[in-house]
């Protein structure tokens, strides 16, 4: 993504989660395929031959894990946005922001770098997750018309959950820190 802010302004539309969901499924599929191709030992022995097990894993990821993971991460992002949009003045109010479907799309599109994070190379996974986190911040700031600080506050929990835990960037960081 060369101009991510412009991309988020043009690609995200209210009430249409399907393109974002499709994108997230493709990203997750690329991630798991990259992981299994580079390290075949991660494929569980569900069936014989091992290629059948790999196919089952990919189908589970694209049909179940990716959609559930996207919507769980987007739900965390939505709650985080609520907290980040609190204002204190003459009482507690919320700033205007985009809808839930727009948040789902931002979370999905921001995950683009994770398509390259499949190979179990800790530095690669961490770099992809950091870039995805930055894209999430830019996307939330742009789509929800908020400040950078509020976008950072809103993006941190879903980025840690989605990219850190879901795409194993936290494990990669621990591996790098352990030496």
Q: Give the domain ranges of the chain.
A: 4-178
Q: How far apart are CA 33 and CA 14, in angstroms?
A: 31
Name the residue with higher pLDDT: 33 or 98: 33
User: What is the per-residue pLDDT for 23?
Assistant: 98
Residues 152-161 have a mean pLDDT of 98
Model confidence, pTM: 0.94
- Asked if residue 132 lies in contact with residue 159, where contact means CB atoms within 8 angstroms, the answer is yes
User: What is the per-residue pLDDT for 106?
Assistant: 98
Which residue has 């190379």 as its token pair? 121
Which residue has 């190979």 as its token pair? 119
pLDDT of 1 > 80? The answer is no
């Amino acid at each position: 993504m060369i101009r991510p802010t412009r991309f988020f302004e043009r690609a995200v539309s209210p009430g249409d989660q399907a393109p974002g969901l499709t994108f997230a499924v493709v990203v997750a599929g690329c991630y798991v395929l990259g992981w299994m191709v580079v390290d075949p030992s991660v494929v569980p022995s569900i069936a014989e031959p091992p290629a059948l097990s790999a196919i089952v894993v990919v189908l589970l990821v694209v049909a179940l894990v990716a959609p559930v993971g996207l919507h769980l991460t987007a739900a965390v992002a939505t709650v985080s946005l609520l907290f980040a949009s609190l204002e204190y003045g003459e009482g507690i109010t919320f700033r205007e922001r985009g809808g839930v479907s727009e948040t789902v799309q931002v979370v999905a599109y921001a995950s683009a770098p994770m398509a390259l994070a499949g190979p179990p190379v800790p530095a690669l996974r961490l770099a992809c997750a950091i870039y995805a986190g930055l894209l999430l911040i830019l996307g939330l700031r742009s789509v929800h018309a908020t400040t950078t600080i509020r976008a950072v506050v809103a993006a941190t929990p879903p980025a840690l959950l989605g990219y850190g835990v879901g795409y194993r960037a936290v494990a990669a960081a621990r591996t790098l820190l352990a030496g």
